[in-house]
Amino acid sequence: MPFSDYRTALVTGASGGIGAAVVERFAREGLTVHAIARSAEPLKALAEKTGCVPHVVDVTDRAALARLTSEVAFDVLVNNAGVDRPKKFLEADEGDIDLLVDVNLRAVLHLCRMVVPGMAARDRGHVINISSIAGNYNFGGNSTYHATKAGVAMLSNQLRIDTFGRRVRVTEVCPGRVATDIFAHVHGDSPEIRERFIDGFELPTASDIADAIAFAVAAPVSMNVGHIEITPTLQVMGGLQTAKPASPGGGEAR
């Protein structure tokens, strides 16, 4: 169902990065875009630039989301808001677990609950869930994040089953490393962090991800692009490690 068949879109996590890029792309396609974020100033600037309808709302504020989704029938839903607290699970913090589950998974579930039934009733709609390669591959120090993104991956598959027979399309987008400010938000904004994650690497940009999403949305109504994995050409997932058992004294074996 191409862009011309859609009129309204809702994008979460829209104050920067991929979310802001998607708002800009959708606005250029003529959609009325409602942009949700917690940060008022970046959202105001985005509204001035794109003409989007800004909503300073935390995605964990279920009442505010319910009011908005009851007032507007959304044709496209982009679940982009997300947080991370990198930490080995053996050192997991109770508050961090709750935060990641609330933002990365619970908010996605509830927004789909609020929006998707209307799409099915109208026989028209597209859900874009921004997941992560962390939902499909394992790497150290992010166990709760992996778990929430895996939940989004399974939800994306299940929505297609639950809306079977209706023209509701679902696309899970799984980015690898992308040149956005997410690393500064998670690890702190410093030259060292930029050098570790951004500087010197050939990385996709937020607008590249938005273009991929636009491809899925603009596809013919008979075509559902269900899964898009986007990584730098010079990034791979996987590897093999083998550990020796701990010594009887509790330290590492030598």
- DSSP 8-state symbol, 223: -
Whether 10 maps to a domain, the answer reads yes
Whether 241 maps to a domain, the answer reads no
Q: Which secondary structure element, helix H or strand E, spans residue 146, and what is its range? A: helix 143-162
> CATH number for the domain including 185?
3.40.50.720
End-to-end CA distance of the chain: 61
Based on the residue annotation, tell me whether 137 is a catalytic residue of this protein: no
Is 82 buried (19+), middle (13-18) or exposed (0-12) by CB count in 10 A? buried
53's tokens: 């309808």
Q: How many residues appear in the chain?
A: 254
Structural domain that includes position 48: 3-230
Which of the residues 145, 151, 204, 212 is marked catalytic?
Answer: 145
Segments in the chain below pLDDT 50:
253-254
CB-based burial, 150-170: b 16+ in 10 Å, e otherwise:
bbbbebbeebeeebeeebbbb
Dump pLDDT digits (tens) for 146-172: 999 999 999 999 999 999 999 999 999
Partners of 37 in beta bridges: 56
Q: Do the beta carbons of residue 35 and residue 23 sit within 8 Å?
A: yes
How much is the pLDDT for 55? 98
Whether 242 maps to a domain, the answer reads no
Neighbours of 23 (CB within 10 A): 32
Whether 171 maps to a domain, the answer reads yes
Neighbours of 88 (CB within 10 A): 10
How much is the pLDDT for 65? 98
Alpha helices in 55-106 (DSSP H): 62-71, 94-100
Q: Do the beta carbons of residue 213 and residue 186 sit within 8 Å?
A: no
How much is the pLDDT for 251? 57
Partners of 79 in beta bridges: 129
Whether 72 maps to a domain, the answer reads yes
Going 69 to 71 to 73 to 76, the CA torsion angle's sign is: negative
Whether 254 maps to a domain, the answer reads no
For the chain, the domain total comes to: 1
How much is the pLDDT for 224? 97
Distance CA(223)–CA(185), nearest Å, equals: 36
How much is the pLDDT for 160? 96
Whether 251 maps to a domain, the answer reads no
Distance CA(179)–CA(204), nearest Å, equals: 6
How much is the pLDDT for 195? 72
Distance of alpha carbon 159 from the chain centroid: 16
Which residue has 């209307």 as its token pair?
118
How much is the pLDDT for 252? 54
Whether 246 maps to a domain, the answer reads no
